[in-house]
Amino acid sequence: MTWQAAAPALTVSYDEVPYDGLTHSETHPSLLATVGSLMGMHPTPVESCRVLEIGCAQGYNLIAMALNLPTSQFVGIDFAPGQIAAGHKAIAELGATNVTLHALDVMALDDSLGRFDYIIAHGFFSWVAQPARDQLLAVYRRLLTPNGIGYISYNAYPGGHFMNALRDGMLFHSGRIENPQERAAEARRWIDLLVETGEGRVVPHSGFYRAFRQLLNDYRSHLGEEEGRSNAGLLHDELEEVNQPFYLRQFADQCAAAGLQYVGDTEFASMLASNIPESVAKVIQTSARSRVEAEQYLDFVRNRMFRRSLVCHKEVALSGKPSMQTVASLYLSSSARAESVERPDGARPAVKYISPDGASFSTDHPLTIAAFDYLGDVWPQRVPFATLVGRTGSPTSRITNPTYDAAVGRIGNPPGDSRTTSPTYGKDAQILAANLLKAYSTSSVLIELHRHAPALVTTVSARPVASRWARWQVRQNAKSICNLLHKRVLLDEPDCYLLLRLDGSRTVYDLCQELMGGPLQKGHWHIKKEETGASVGSPLGHTPEIPLEERVEQIVRDRLEWLALAALLEG
């Protein structure tokens, strides 16, 4: 049982300390539909769906989705009127017509809002009492469409036991402080003191000393990192009065009691034993009596601390075996870098692809190599499987009837062809699909699978346009910006300056003239030494060999190209 201070009550009003207005890439219906499809479901197309978010805060997560999916409908509820009012203001400023927010407690949620294809509850399940958890699952049962998918995140055991050790200490030390911000500051100070206590020596009577020291250092880094925890996040998560982790098997049992079933995790690779030693995987395979038990074993192996679980109605038949048709119906993207592999003389050349998270996949299959290389060239664009094969494969490898039909979420016949026959796959295309799925089962960063491709561009147009949502966020002085892929991107001052002006009315020349006539003269534009030849932290300078105007234009173009690669420019 976690420690609770005698006084005062630890629950902090969300109107008093609003939760951070963040977006969460793992909640996007495209990802939910992707995992659901791989598990044998037939989700509603992302382009024409209804989405409900429970505990939506200011609604920023939904607004970002709504702007990029204008033919879908988004509804959010939150019991904090102040947060909903902030969301209404943002919606009005952005002119978003397909998102509505309601100040409403989940306990009062009835059927008046209709049914939904996707329901999201991020940061809710572990932080409310059991009656509210029961109500949440009942809402999913009532309001999910027959093929609907629900997302529920929660703190998980066994890793939650480690986090509880830190949480209990912070509550013990700071739980009697009435002012929330002072309580959060004192909790941070307590962690600092614990780290300092163990520096340079062994503390007597300490259990698993080295492991505890590593936990403390990792958590302090998490609190202080650039995208780290604000006081709002700390107060509403670790220091919240209710913070209950669950084992996966416990969560699955609660879902079953409510007429739901566990589908899987948004991190598809975490559901599989592809990243653990074969000897351990064999023990799990022979010991687990169900898929849930197998994943519970994996949580013990990995000391899982947090889960993003998907659920659906118990009547849905899940296969758990991705089909060729499913893989061929998806969009793909990858930023993995290529590295050559030494091979014996006469052997077919092979390439290892390494993702930013360190995962890797090696192949000597020519079509797979061509596909990965092409995806790297067009990153961050998402490419339909059929298009990928058509651009990189030989005629014998291609798919007949390779048109992607977004309305039904599958490969269909060419326009005007009314036949209902399934597409035919060449052998190479089948191998490619299997290799892509194998890579995705290793890491969703190594290769990404999607149900939706946003309208972004990877080249800078004559009059570049940044997304409305990104420009609005910069106007709110945000530095962590949600891009068109629904992922967060950190921006510096020059990026923010340019982004605000990318509304399609300015050419690169216009941007340079505006820059030289304002921030440069005032010394407000600071960039790196290697970009200018000037000293670090000094205003923009230029080398004697290159005229200032040319250097400014080159720097602006370089930054615009980076913004395009960051998926912030739209077509």
Contact call for residues 10 and 170 (beta carbons, < 8 A): no
Q: Which of 270, 291, 313 is the last residue of a domain?
A: 313
Q: Are residues 308 and 384 in the same domain?
A: no
* Mean pLDDT of all residues in 500-528: 76
Return d(Cα 483, Cα 467) in angstroms, integer. 8
pLDDT of residue 224: 77
Q: Is residue 542 part of a domain?
A: yes
Burial state string for 108-141 with b = 16 or more CB within 10 A and e = fewer than 16: ebeeeeeebbbbbbbbbbbbbeeebbebbbebbb
Q: Are residues 256 and 335 in the same domain?
A: no
218 Cβ contact list (under 8 Å, min separation 6): none
Q: Are residues 164 and 135 in the same domain?
A: no
Using one digit for the tens of pLDDT, what is the confidence trace for 120-136? 999 999 999 999 999 99
| Structure tokens that stand for 174 in this block | 């700071």
Residues in the chain, overall count: 571
Q: What are the phi and psi torsion angles at 98 (to 5°)?
A: -110, 25
Consecutive H or E run containing 134 = helix 130-143
Q: Are residues 307 and 348 in the same domain?
A: no
Using one digit for the tens of pLDDT, what is the confidence trace for 386-442? 999 988 766 555 444 433 333 333 333 333 333 334 455 688 999 999 999 999 999
pLDDT of residue 535: 36
Q: Is residue 85 part of a domain?
A: yes
Q: Is residue 462 part of a domain?
A: no
pLDDT of residue 518: 67
Contacts 24+ apart (CB under 8 A), 284-292: 291/320, 292/248, 292/249, 292/252, 292/262
Q: What CATH number is given to the structural domain containing 272?
A: 3.40.50.150
Q: Are residues 143 and 79 in the same domain?
A: yes
Contact call for residues 352 and 359 (beta carbons, < 8 A): no
Please name every residue paired with 116 in a beta bridge, in sequence order, or none if there are none: 144
Q: pLDDT band for position 203 (50/70/90)?
A: low
pLDDT of residue 417: 38
Q: Are residues 369 and 511 in the same domain?
A: no
Domain membership of residue 498 as a residue range: 468-565
Burial state string for 2-28 with b = 16 or more CB within 10 A and e = fewer than 16: eeebeeeebebebeebbbebbbbbbbb
Using one digit for the tens of pLDDT, what is the confidence trace for 231-275? 888 888 888 889 999 999 999 999 999 999 999 999 999 999 988
Higher pLDDT, 537 or 338: 338
Q: Indicate the DSSP class of residue 458.
A: S
What share of the chain in percent tops pLDDT 70? 85
Return d(Cα 50, Cα 99) in angstroms, integer. 10
| Structure tokens that stand for 33 in this block | 């539909």
Q: Which of 236, 260, 291 is the last residue of a domain?
A: 236
Contact call for residues 23 and 17 (beta carbons, < 8 A): no
Residue 16 in this model has a pLDDT that exceeds 90: no
Q: Are residues 37 and 165 in the same domain?
A: no
Type of residue at 248? L
| H-helix segments, 229-365 | 231-236, 248-257, 278-287, 291-302, 324-328
Return d(Cα 121, Cα 117) in angstroms, integer. 14
Higher pLDDT, 147 or 524: 147
Return d(Cα 118, Cα 143) in angstroms, integer. 9
Q: pLDDT band for position 3 (50/70/90)?
A: very low
| Structure tokens that stand for 393 in this block | 């494969």
Torsion of CA 121, 124, 128, 134, to 10 degrees: 20
Q: Are residues 133 and 53 in the same domain?
A: yes
Return d(Cα 129, Cα 132) in angstroms, integer. 6
Return d(Cα 375, Cα 369) in angstroms, integer. 10
Contact call for residues 335 and 379 (beta carbons, < 8 A): yes
Higher pLDDT, 233 or 308: 308
Q: Are residues 516 and 388 in the same domain?
A: no
* Mean pLDDT of all residues in 15-43: 90
Q: What are the phi and psi torsion angles at 384 (to 5°)?
A: -60, 145
* Mean pLDDT of all residues in 476-489: 92
Q: Measuring CA to CA, which residue among 281, 285, 297, 288 is closest to residue 247?
A: 297
Contact call for residues 96 and 133 (beta carbons, < 8 A): no
Query: What CA–CA distances, in Å, run from 157 to 83, 140, 261, 435?
Result: 31, 23, 19, 32
Contact call for residues 239 and 171 (beta carbons, < 8 A): yes
Q: Is residue 43 part of a domain?
A: yes
Mean pLDDT, the chain, whole residue set: 86
| H-helix segments, 177-275 | 180-197, 209-224, 231-236, 248-257
Q: Measuring CA to CA, which residue among 116, 138, 117, 148 is closest to residue 41?
A: 148
Q: What angle do CA 435, 436, 437 make, to 5 degrees?
A: 90
Contact call for residues 422 and 402 (beta carbons, < 8 A): no
Q: Which of 313, 343, 368 is the last residue of a domain?
A: 313
Give Cα 58 distance to the centre of its chain.
Answer: 18
Q: Is the peptide bond before 454 cis (omega within 30 degrees of 0)?
A: no
Query: What CA–CA distances, in Å, run from 174 to 4, 6, 524?
Result: 11, 11, 42
Burial state string for 290-318 with b = 16 or more CB within 10 A and e = fewer than 16: eebebbbbbbebeebbebbbbbbbeebee
Residue 473 in this model has a pLDDT that exceeds 80: yes
SS3 197: helix
Q: Are residues 250 and 139 in the same domain?
A: yes
SS3 563: helix
**Total number of domains in the chain:** 4
Q: Are residues 179 and 148 in the same domain?
A: no
Q: What is the largest CA-CA distance in the chain?
A: 78
Return d(Cα 181, Cα 234) in angstroms, integer. 10
Q: Are residues 416 and 347 in the same domain?
A: yes
